[in-house]
């Protein structure tokens, strides 16, 4: 393993009825916050009322910034920055899934910067300071509640960029599995795909040295996410199923699975971000389209690794690694179909005619992220496998 430092400064409060504690935990960060959330699901499932009561009981003032999209956009972030500056808020409370948390991080950083917050996303500026961010997670998938990452779409340029910065780790995240009971089946599926991608990308892209700890953690997480997803699709209010899915998603993208890995990268996210920017498709749906195509294309370059995944996750080992590898890819693709996540452009109504332009955008993001092994022909061939 290469040398590494592993530090997660986020306090996790996990369990039923923990949302009511947000006021007491928030008091140390100030008396006025910006409350960021999405399009209103937290008002339907009771989370909003619990949050408001707890904040009121703690005598914390709050200004609301609702309306975050499933792919958060720059214009809405700028509205949040303007509002928060006007109201002189001291910290941010994100109540929602990864999109809400990512936008909250952008606002927190933008409030401490005189320039355009997009500068952080296109790599022309580095975050040196950000307001504290607290989160209440309601859609487990992105892992943003326990990492320093953020993703944002620029509607004007059709770009969806992301990055990681230590200043963006939430100070506190409350994870109450009961708040996820009302997630609809499609987003339950998309969440599972996203979490699997987070766990597995480093597994498939590292330099193939011996990393048994990380590899076995990844295999266990993928199997656990699949098992818990099948449980909660059948019984949405299964507490242990929801709790397991929630915690597994957090562990999949908090840095644990890639500690010490040489060469690990996130090419599937590179492609999925472009699909999200072009078509505003749910992130997990974009990933379930990309992952099987990418695997089929890269399998020949790393057959033993794909065969190991097939055997250890699906029990599809055998004397022929190439055959086993393909069977594992097909098994994962079939599972995506089974849970209702799309596996092709056709499934999602994405036109084929944009492949040339999408390829250029993928390469632009690859350059920004330092992923260098893909030519334009490679990118186009992978996208063609998505049709």
Specify whether the backbone of 190 is left (phi greater than 0), alpha (psi in -120 to 50) or beta: alpha
> The tokens of 56 are what?
């009121």
pLDDT value at 19 more than 90: yes
Q: b or e along 48-82 (b: 16 or more beta carbons within 10 Å of the residue's beta carbon)?
A: bebbbebbeeeebebbebbebebbbbbebbbebbe
Query: Which CATH code of 1.10.3720.10, 3.40.50.300, 1.10.520.10, 1.20.1090.10 fits the domain covering 183-384?
Result: 1.20.1090.10
As a whole number, mean pLDDT of residues 170-193 equals 98
As a whole number, mean pLDDT of residues 304-318 equals 96
Q: With the CA atoms of 193, 197, 199 and 203 taken in that order, what torsion angle do they form, in degrees rounded to the nearest 10?
A: 140
- Structure confidence by residue, pLDDT tens digits, 272-283: 999 999 999 999
Give residue for tokens 């498939």: 204
- Structure confidence by residue, pLDDT tens digits, 36-74: 999 989 999 999 999 999 999 999 999 999 999 999 999
Give the three-class secondary structure for 7.
Answer: coil
Q: Who's near 162: CB < 8 A, 6+ residues apart?
A: 102, 121, 149, 150, 151, 152, 269, 273
As a whole number, mean pLDDT of residues 97-121 equals 98
As a whole number, mean pLDDT of residues 289-304 equals 97
Looking at residue 2, the DSSP 8-state letter turns out to be -
Give the three-class secondary structure for 139.
Answer: strand
pLDDT value of position 351:
87
CA angle 257, 262, 264 (to 5 degrees): 55
Measure Cα distances from 234 to 137, 184, 194, 246, 338 in Å: 22, 12, 20, 16, 12
Q: What is the rounded distance in angstroms from the CA atom of residue 198 to the CA atom of residue 205?
A: 12
Q: Does domain 11-179 have CATH number 2.70.50.60?
A: no
> The tokens of 384 are what?
């063609």
pLDDT value of position 353:
79
- pTM of the full structure: 0.94
Do the beta carbons of residue 268 and residue 197 sit within 8 Å?
yes
- Structure confidence by residue, pLDDT tens digits, 241-280: 999 999 999 999 999 999 999 999 999 999 999 999 999 9
Average pLDDT, the chain: 97
Every domain of the chain and the residues it spans:
11-179, 183-384
As a whole number, mean pLDDT of residues 235-239 equals 98
Three-class HEC string of 26-88: HHHHCCEEEEECCCCHHHHCCHHHHHHHHHHHCCCEEEEECCCCCCCEHHHHHHHHHHHHHHC
As a whole number, mean pLDDT of residues 283-294 equals 98
């Amino acid at each position: 393993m290469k040398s590494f430092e592993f530090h997660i400064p986020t306090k996790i409060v996990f369990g039923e009825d923990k949302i009511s504690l947000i006021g007491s935990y928030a008091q140390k960060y100030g008396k006025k916050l910006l409350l960021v959330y999405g399009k209103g699901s937290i008002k339907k499932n009771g989370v909003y009322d619990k949050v408001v009561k707890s904040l009121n009981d703690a005598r914390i003032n709050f200004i609301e910034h609702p309306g975050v999209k499933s792919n958060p956009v720059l214009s809405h972030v700028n509205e949040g920055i303007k509002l928060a500056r006007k109201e002189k808020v001291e910290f941010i409370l994100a109540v929602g899934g990864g999109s809400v948390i990512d936008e909250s991080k952008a606002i927190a950083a933008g409030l401490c910067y005189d320039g355009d917050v997009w500068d952080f996303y296109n790599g022309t500026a580095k975050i040196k300071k950000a307001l504290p961010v607290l989160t209440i997670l309601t859609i487990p998938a992105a892992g943003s509640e326990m990492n320093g990452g953020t993703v944002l779409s620029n509607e004007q340029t059709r770009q969806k960029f992301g990055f990681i910065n230590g200043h963006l780790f939430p100070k506190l995240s409350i994870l109450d599995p009961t708040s996820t009971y009302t997630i609809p089946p499609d987003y339950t599926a998309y969440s599972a795909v996203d979490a699997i991608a987070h766990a597995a990308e480093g597994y498939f892209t590292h330099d193939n040295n011996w990393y048994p700890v990380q590899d076995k953690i990844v295999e266990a997480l993928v199997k656990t996410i699949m098992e818990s997803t099948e449980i909660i699709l059948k019984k949405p209010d299964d507490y242990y199923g929801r709790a397991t899915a929630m915690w597994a998603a957090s562990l999949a993208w908090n840095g644990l699975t890639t500690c010490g890995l040489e060469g690990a990268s996130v090419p599937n996210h590179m492609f999925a971000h472009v699909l999200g920017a072009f078509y505003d498709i749910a992130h997990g749906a974009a990933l379930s389209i990309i992952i099987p195509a990418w695997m089929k294309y890269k399998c020949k370059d790393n057959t033993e690794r794909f065969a190991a995944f097939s055997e250890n996750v699906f029990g599809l080992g055998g004397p022929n690694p190439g055959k086993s590898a393909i069977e594992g890819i097909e098994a994962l693709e079939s599972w995506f179909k089974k849970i209702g996540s799309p596996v092709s452009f056709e499934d999602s109504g994405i036109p084929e005619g944009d492949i040339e332009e999408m390829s250029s955008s993928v390469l632009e993001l690859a350059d920004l992220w330092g992923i260098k092994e893909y030519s334009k022909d490679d990118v186009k061939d992978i996208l063609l496998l998505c049709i």
